Amino acid sequence: MLRILHQIFRTGIVTEPLPPAEETEIEVIGVRLEEAIKRYFRRSLTIREIDAGSCNGCELEIHALNNPIYNCERFGIHFTASPRFADILLVTGPVSINMEIALIRTYNATPNPKFVIAVGDCGYNGGIFGESYASLGGIGKIIPVDVYIHGCPPKPADILNGILKSIEDSRPT
Q: Around 138, how many Cα atoms within 13 Å sit in the side-chain half-sphere?
A: 17
Q: Is residue 12 a contact residue for another protein (CB under 8 A)?
A: no
Among 57, 76, 140, 172, which residue sits at the site for another protein (rule: CB under 8 A)?
57
Measured CA distances, 106 to 32, 52, 84, 101 (Å)? 29, 11, 9, 9
Please check whether residue 142 is in contact with residue 103, taking contact to mean a CB–CB distance below 8 angstroms. yes
**Is the Cβ–Cβ distance between 71 and 15 less than 8 Å?**
yes
Beta bridge partners, 96, equal 135
Interactions with another protein, residue window 105-124 (CB under 8 A): 106
Of 172, 147, 146, 173, nearest to 36 by C-alpha is 172
Is residue 47 within 8 A of residue 87, CB to CB? The reply is: yes
CB of 130 vs another protein, minimal distance in Å: 7
The reply to whether 31 sits near another protein by the rule CB under 8 A is: no
Least CB distance to another protein at residue 122 (A):
8
17 near another protein (CB under 8 A): no
Instruction: Provide the 10 A C-beta neighbour count for residue 142.
Output: 18
Give yes or no for residue 50 binding another protein (CB under 8 A). yes
Asked if the peptide bond before residue 113 counts as cis, ω within 30 degrees of 0, the response is: yes
Count of residues interacting with another protein (CB under 8 A): 52
Q: Which stretch binds another protein (CB under 8 A): 26-34, 35-43, 57-65, 110-118?
A: 57-65
Question: What is the smallest separation between the CB atom of 75 and another protein, expressed in angstroms?
Answer: 17
Phi, psi at 147, each rounded to 5°: -140, 140
CB closer to another protein out of 131 and 168: 131
82 or 170: CB nearest another protein: 82
Binding site for another protein (CB under 8 A): 3-4, 7-8, 11, 14, 19, 49-64, 66-70, 79, 81, 83, 93-94, 96-99, 102, 106, 127-136, 152-153, 155
